[in-house]
Homo-oligomer: A and B are copies of this chain.
């Protein structure tokens, strides 16, 4: 199995400038507005934008579901790239399970557009398939629509 076979990837050309998309990803009050496909919503978001820094979100469903997703950032390239994972808690403590690492990239595409790539990389083919069945493509797709719409208002 090649590395890529454990990945799920969303690539889109978004009609919003790179800087606005970056703000939507890195300012907690903005992130909360788009990160979950509605009617789900984010009630808490904490981010400490540096390698090893915390990235925590709590996602809530319309029937009272609530999932806290703890993780850390691995790499932060201002305005261009965010890498984070659920494999660690702050202090580089291994988490309960190393499920996935996300690599999100923002590239200028001219005319106020941005080439946006969100890659979810998994430790196993089983985790990849589980993530796909959880609705990766639909969920990340809808969230990306929300991201684009919010960025256009900034």
Contacts and interface: CB of A to CB of B under 8 A. Distances in A.
A6 interface: yes
Number of copies: 2
A114 interface: no
Nearest to A93: B3
A51 B88 CA distance: 14
A2 to B, nearest CB: 11
Interface residues of A, number: 23
A15 interface: no
A41 to B, nearest CB: 29
Interface stretch (A17-25, A30-38, A94-102, A133-141): A94-102
Given A83-B92, A92-B103, A103-B92, A74 B51 contact: yes
A40 interface: no
Interface string A45-75: 0000001100000000000000000000011
Given A51-B75, A75-B52, A121 B103 contact: no
Most B CB contacts (10 A, CB to CB) among A94, A96, A122 go to A94
Contact of A101 (B74, B83, B94, B123): B94
